[in-house]
Amino acid sequence: MPLATLRQVLDEAAKGGYGVGAFNVNNMEQLQGIVTAAQEVNAPVIVQASRGAINYAGPMYLRNLILAAAESAPEIPIVLHLDHGDTPDTCKMAIDLGFTSVMMDGSLLADGKTPSDYEYNVRVTREVVDAAHVKGVSVEGELGTLGGIEDGHGSGEVHLTDPDQAGDFVAQTGVDALAVAIGTSHGAYKFTEKPTGDVLAMHLIEEIHQKLPTTHMVMHGSSSVPAELVDRINAAGGQLAEAFGVPVEEIQQGIRHGVRKVNVDTDGRLAITAALRESIAANPSEFDPRAFFKPAREAMKQVVAERLTQFGAAGHAGDYTVISLDEMAARYKSDGSLGA
């Protein structure tokens, strides 16, 4: 099966009323954990690489690792997505590399920190849509900004998405998916206590869905930061502060109102780190790194399988046949409902 496009996978998720997890990947063990989880629960999956991941692994390693994953799991629709593209050039580089989906994060300027103005966001996002759709590649845009700067993304200021502006943004840019800002942030330290529906501004998701019922929404910063993982890391020598993430029930509520892509990176990082710390501490005479990477890969698999199941994607991998980028490009050309 070729790599799937985000647009097709999210269109199918909308038909089935579920959400698809988008998990960040930087190396082989993470990727194997993600893809074997998708196989185990028979779910479509989005594998996403940030610019940091591309720098860490190298573009060719990442591209070919993911092609290897797709070859090893031909029964699973797998999207290769660029997470938080900072400029149209970065997105075009990813398209040339073979990514089937890119995010143009025009909510921030190219420094990835300063909030942009609306006209800038529309302009750069539209430029990427024009370059992507002729090749069948999908585009995610973002309106509003997340909080938190610990991982280098974001301004630290939260600008929640304005539902009225969302309609104009989607119409002007032709994006396939819209990332909305509802009060989440990246990383482990999102909230100082378990967030309520108000802190999370879930009502914005409902309003946007009412105004734009066919637009696929994306929730960034959606790790749940399980206390069990934080506790295990600390029990094995880590020093993480108490942390609260996004409760899975809130994500499920979002999915009932049009959220189709759910971004999860931190939970995978925590699961891997817990397993690495525990296995290194428990096996002081071991020096074969595979002894540590195996439980780490298994921990990644477990958290991904759990999230795919909680988001309702389990069992849906075989619902459809993946269509090629060429076919997608032809559809953009001929089908007005797919956006320009």
The site for ligand 13P (CB under 6 A) is made up of: 24, 83-84, 186-187, 220-223, 263-266
Site string for ligand G3H, 134-153 (x = CB under 6 A): -----------------xxx
Q: Scanning residues 198 to 237, which ones bind Zn ion (CB under 5 A)?
A: 220
Given ligand G3H, ligand 13P, Zn ion, none, residue 222, with its beta carbon under 5 to 8 Å by kind, binds ligand 13P
Is residue 8 a contact point for ligand G3H (CB under 6 A)? no
Q: Which is nearer to ligand 13P, 91 or 322 (CB)?
A: 91
Q: Which is nearer to ligand 13P, 136 or 221 (CB)?
A: 221
Asked if residue 86 binds ligand G3H (CB under 6 A), the reply is: no
Cα separation, 159 vs 106, whole angstroms: 13
88 interacts with, out of ligand G3H, Zn ion, ligand 13P, none, CB within 5 to 8 A per kind: none
Structure tokens of 297? Answer: 């890969």
Is the CB of 8 or the CB of 222 nearer to ligand G3H? 222
The CA R_g of the chain, rounded to the nearest whole Å, is 19
Shortest distance, CB of residue 45 to Zn ion, whole angstroms? Answer: 17
Q: Which is nearer to ligand G3H, 153 or 297 (CB)?
A: 153
Residues with catalytic function:
83
> Rounded to 5 degrees, what are φ and ψ at 172?
-75, -30
Residue type, 172: Q
CA dihedral 196, 268, 143, 208 (to 10 degrees): -50
Residue tagged 């720098």 (tokens): 55
Contacting residues for 268 by C-beta, under 8 A, at least 6 apart: 23, 24, 30, 33, 34, 300, 303, 304
Which option in ligand 13P, Zn ion, ligand G3H, none does residue 297 bind, with CB closer than 5 to 8 A by kind?
Answer: none
Phi, psi of 102 (to 5 degrees): -135, 145
Residue number with CB closer to ligand G3H (31 or 328): 31
Report the residue number, 29 or 265, with the smaller CB distance to ligand G3H. Answer: 265
Closest approach of Cβ 24 to ligand G3H, in Å? 5
Name the minimum Å distance from CB 217 to Zn ion. 13
Instruction: Measure the CA–CA gap between 1 and 321, rounded to whole angstroms.
Output: 8
Least distance from C-beta 105 to ligand 13P, angstroms? 9
Of 15, 93, 108, 17, residue with least CA distance to 49: 93
Residue 186 as a binder of ligand G3H (CB under 6 A): the answer is: yes
What is the smallest separation between the CB atom of 266 and Zn ion, expressed in angstroms? 10
Residues linked to residue 212 through DSSP beta bridges, in sequence order: none
Interface with ligand G3H (CB under 6 A), residue from 2, 52, 247, 315: 52
Q: What does each C-alpha distance from 184 to 157, 196, 270 come to in angstroms?
A: 11, 12, 18
Nearest-approach distance from CB 317 to ligand G3H, in angstroms: 25
Structure tokens at 151: 């991982």
53 near ligand G3H, rule: CB under 6 A: yes
Please give the residue whose beta carbon sits closest to Zn ion in the complex: 220
The rounded distance, in Å, linking the Cα atoms of 124 and 108 is: 11
| Residue 101 C-beta: closest distance to ligand 13P, Å | 13
Residue 53 interacting partner from ligand G3H, ligand 13P, Zn ion, none (CB closer than 5 to 8 Å by kind): ligand G3H
User: What phi and psi values does residue 199 have, to the nearest 5 degrees?
Assistant: -60, -35
Q: What is the DSSP string of 45-56?
A: EEEEE-HHHHHH
2: Cβ–Cβ under 8 A, 6 or more apart, which residues? 70, 322, 324, 325
Picking from 136, 140, 155, the residue whose alpha carbon sits closest to that of residue 322 is 136
Residues that bind ligand G3H (CB under 6 A): 24, 50, 52-53, 83-84, 151-153, 186, 265
Residues that bind Zn ion (CB under 5 A): 220
